[in-house]
Amino acid sequence: MARAILERSPADQTEVLVAQSDAALTRFTHEVTNQNVAARGVEISVRAILDGQTGVASSNSVDDNDLRALVERAVAIARLAPKDPLQPPLPVGKTAPAPPNAYVDATAQASPERRAAICGALFDAAEHAECWCAGYASTSSSGYTVANSNGALASFDGTDAAVNVKMIGADSSGWAEAHATDVECIDARTIAARAVDKSLRSAAPHSVEPGAWSVILEPAAFGELLAYLAGHFSAQSYDEGSSFCSDGLERRYFGENVSIFDDYAHPLAPGMPFDFEGFPTQRLALVENGIVRNVVTDSYYAHKLEVENTGHALPAPNSYGPQPLHLVVAPGTASLDELIANTERGLLVTRFWYIRTVDQKQAIVTGMTRDGTFLIERGRIAGGVRNLRFNQSILEALRSCEFSSEPRRTAGYGFSTVVPAVKIEGFTFTSATEF
């Protein structure tokens, strides 16, 4: 289909992105399903470039006449667009093969009964613990093909399975998640046990005073926090001056133990080896031992900044600039249990909620704890605490921190990271809740 579209395009340069997906999700609450859904579809997007003028049109019809009309629409839009003198040629590169286990047929073929079985196991655990639960089990497959008239042609198939559950008691809750490309690697009973344990151990929570605390953020909490730093590593943000590192690369912004990568091939989160321009994605060191080494680029920003294209383009049209979609943080040497044991007084955070940027350049963010926040006293979990709001610069947090030795994949809407737990000194909580 992509080749046929390229052949019939009269544009100087043409790019075709074909994206297809089949995604199913069984969501539940109070031990009944409340969103039990599946959707399959395809989207064809055409980017036409005529002498620096660009137009993009997309459709979900694979009818031959509609595809012909789609190309004509993209070209017609391009003819009306002002020229962009910086528009580079569409890129071509030799893409790497997909990482192992990116696509698992058992996940792609998972039935509603398979998802129901996962949910049923969670229901049983909730009833046994005298909790109620809410969450989901999902399975999906997706495929991407990118081709352009300069010769690029790349295809990728991937799968994803996930479980997410919150166990809710009278005055507490606990939460756990799992993500894998293979649905057979999802162990519902283990996930349920983890969430139940958190819910039970945080029962009858006490209030603690806001202020500067030693905190240990479990991977879900740290991963979501880190997601708010991702955009700073975009060449667009760097170039426009809104990134913390706009003042220059090759400078130390973090502690010496902090190394952050963008790695689509990490075994815990194998992904697409090329970007949405079909250009090979580099496995890139963004931060090495506290020093910012690189920002990610696409063909446009590589051309504009006269640097290498790292293959991090988003689908056209893209006003967000290139983005790192696979952040990975290098682990430390101590286990999570050892981090806890080495904490005289602090807080253990399972998960954050509703993080938002307060100050762009200083990377100050605010957000709430939820679903399992614990007081640590003399190296032991002393009990649950009521939730707290934080206001914290991510830069400052990562100047003095210690990572656990156990990286885990964590994901939410708009981010997927592989991170360990992290212990941070002087993490600033500014207010508390009554629950």
How far is it, in rounded angstroms, from Cα 238 to Cα 248? 9
Nearer to another protein, 188 or 328 (CB): 188
Q: How many CA atoms lie within 13 A of 97 on its CB side?
A: 4
Nearer to another protein, 165 or 216 (CB): 165
Residue 398 and residue 313 in contact, taking contact as beta carbons nearer than 8 Å: no
Shortest distance (Å) from residue 359 CB to another protein: 7
Supply the DSSP symbol for 280.
B
Three-state DSSP string of 220-252? HHHHHHHHHHHHHHEHHHHHHCCCCCCCCCCEE
Shortest distance (Å) from residue 398 CB to another protein: 18
317 cis-preceded (ω within 30 degrees of 0): yes
How far is it, in rounded angstroms, from Cα 288 to Cα 315? 29
Q: Provide the token pair at 160.
A: 């994803």
Q: Provide the token pair at 425.
A: 């000194």
Nearer to another protein, 210 or 255 (CB): 210
How far is it, in rounded angstroms, from Cα 31 to Cα 44? 39
End-to-end Cα spacing for the chain: 55
Shortest distance (Å) from residue 36 CB to another protein: 4
Shortest distance (Å) from residue 112 CB to another protein: 4
Supply the DSSP symbol for 83.
P
Nearer to another protein, 138 or 416 (CB): 138
Nearer to another protein, 236 or 309 (CB): 236
Nearer to another protein, 261 or 427 (CB): 427
Shortest distance (Å) from residue 348 CB to another protein: 18
How far is it, in rounded angstroms, from Cα 433 to Cα 310? 44
Shortest distance (Å) from residue 248 CB to another protein: 12
Nearer to another protein, 220 or 330 (CB): 220
Shortest distance (Å) from residue 29 CB to another protein: 5
How far is it, in rounded angstroms, from Cα 387 to Cα 435? 6
Quickly count: other Cβ atoms within 10 Å of residue 366's Cβ.
18
Shortest distance (Å) from residue 379 CB to another protein: 29
Shortest distance (Å) from residue 24 CB to another protein: 8
How far is it, in rounded angstroms, from Cα 65 to Cα 5? 11
Shortest distance (Å) from residue 245 CB to another protein: 13
Nearer to another protein, 23 or 268 (CB): 23
Q: Which residues of 373-412 are buried (b: 16+ CB within 10 A; e: fewer)?
A: bbbbeebeeebbbbbbbbbbbbbbbbbebbbbebbbbbbb
Nearer to another protein, 32 or 97 (CB): 32
Instruction: Give the relative orientation of helices 112-128 and 188-201 as an angle to the nearest 10 degrees.
Output: 30
How far is it, in rounded angstroms, from Cα 124 to Cα 188? 11
Nearer to another protein, 50 or 285 (CB): 50
